Amino acid sequence: MKIKRNDKVQIITGSYKGTIGEVIEVLPKQNKVKVEGVSLVKKHMKPNQMNPDGGIIEQEAWIHVSNVALYDPKAKAPSRVGYKDEKGKKVRVYKKSGTIVK
């Protein structure tokens, strides 16, 4: 999987299409990601030590990785990712602009 935590991604399909957000969590074996502010669901929580009141909490749901693409700030568009050898290190590179992914 070429998408990692804290990457800026753009949603390319679904009801949140066009939304840009940061990746919160990644499940590489299941090809799923959680994006900040996207695909919000309400979850009913029982009271526990960390949340003594319980109640209804709004949180992000998992999205399949095929529905997101890395957002290239230079091209201002979603871009695919390639790899390049930079000073003996393998780095990710945006295909559209050729810049290194930070």
- pTM confidence score: 0.83
List pLDDT tens digits, range 28-73.
Answer: 999 999 999 999 999 999 999 998 999 999 999 999 999 999 999 9
Domains of the chain: 7-76 (2.30.30.30)
73: its two tokens: 């700030």
Task: Name the band, by pLDDT with cuts 50, 70 and 90, for residue 17.
Answer: very high
Question: Could you give the C-alpha distances from 20 to 26, 78, 98, in angstroms and in order?
Answer: 16, 9, 20
CA angle 100, 63, 101 (to 5 degrees): 5
